[in-house]
Amino acid sequence: MINVLVVEDSPVVRELLVHILGSDPDIRIVGTAHDGEEALDAVRRHRPDVITMDMHMPKMDGLEATRRIMETDPVPIVIVSGSQDPRETAATFDAMEAGALAVLCRPTGIGHPDHDVMAQELVRTVKLMSEVKVVRRWPRMRRAAPAARSAEMGLALEPAKVRIVAIGASTGGPPVLQTILAALPKDFPAPVLVVQHMAAGFVRGFIEWLAQSSALPVQLATHGELMLPGHVYVAPDEFQMKVTRGGKIALTRDEPENGLRPSVSCLLRSVAEVYGCDAVAGLLTGMGRDGAEELKLLKDKGAVTFAQDKDSSVVHGMPGEAIKLDAAMLVLPPEKIAAVLANLANHRNKNGA
């Protein structure tokens, strides 16, 4: 049985969440809390396997509660948000930086046409997150200057040109992407394309959150736009993102790959076809194997490829699969990934490439 604590200030919503989760035979609701202070006490009393966390609550909000829980009694936390306003959802990614693993839209009420799908997604996410091993005092991702170049980082300087960077991430990815992008200089010489798996409705808030710490413009990718150096393009909900030979982005309704749309596999395959050895690509923390085989394809074509190391990954599924396939030229923690890319920019600028 998976023991779940539901933290939600609205009695109606709390009852809905308890009903949805409690209806699954593998889940047991061990307690509820209507604010962050109650949540801290309930965690100590009930020792849940997973917590669903509301963001906006009296006394102590979801961000502070998440931070305190991860510092004292670390538990997998799923943020269940009732807002899709980008300014408000950006705060949910602060909670992910503090240690929350996933963010979902609050399921609609019983009888709503979307209820069953959203309820199933909540149950599925809670079950998946119960398998994640979390650690005390979630490491706050550093935003310091990149570390000095090491010998292994020199590998990233071999290609004559780096015309594009493509990164894929899933569970635990947002804080890692924040670390990497925050370390890149504003004159970074290539566009950066990102596929981050997340629940529909949160990508604009995610972009606003990333933009707060990045010197590079971060934007939602649009179909047909010309990619610019030093710009970050994030794949939108429910579209596959590809690149074209004209240096443009293509968004399509192609079928999901690995059950996902957007899919890292789809992006990396198109990057391999169009840019070959003139690309840098990597996989960050996340469940599953999306992008692993395509990262190997890029490496075989001479591109620089990287994977996040196991110790710094929340879930070492995607990068771990890439490592098994010998698809990653470099296996590094987030800070060193950022340093590789920043050193690459310095190399390009010095050589006038």
Packed helices 86-98 and 173-182: angle between N→C axes, nearest 10 degrees: 100
The reply to whether 197 belongs to the active site is: yes
> And the tokens for 84?
């899709």
Burial of 3 (C-beta count, 10 Å sphere; 0-12/13-18/19+): middle
Question: What is the dihedral sign for C-alpha 35, 37, 40, 43?
Answer: negative
Q: What is d(CA 291, CA 298) in angstroms, rounded to the nearest whole number?
A: 10
Q: What is d(CA 285, CA 171) in angstroms, rounded to the nearest whole number?
A: 6
The reply to whether 347 belongs to the active site is: no
Q: What is d(CA 20, CA 123) in angstroms, rounded to the nearest whole number?
A: 8
Task: Please give the C-alpha separations between residue 320 and each of 50, 82, 269, 326, 349, in angstroms, as whole numbers.
Answer: 24, 34, 19, 10, 33
Contact indicator for 280, 301 with CB cutoff of 8 Å: no
Pairing of strands 77-81, 102-105: parallel
Q: What is d(CA 207, CA 90) in angstroms, rounded to the nearest whole number?
A: 8
Amino acid at 11: P
Closest CA to 221 of 196, 245, 246, 187: 196
Write b or e for each residue in 46-85: b if 16 or more Cβ atoms lie within 10 A of its Cβ, otherwise e.
bebbbbbbbbebeebbbbbbbbbbbeeebbbbbbbbebbe
Catalytic residue among 81, 130, 170, 312: 170
Catalytic residue among 290, 309, 313, 316: 290
The reply to whether 316 belongs to the active site is: no
Pairing of strands 2-7, 27-33: parallel
Residue 214 φ then ψ, to 5° = -105, 135
Which residues lie across from 240 on neighbouring strands?
252
Catalytic residue among 34, 197, 316, 347: 197
Please list the active-site residues. Answer: 170, 197, 290
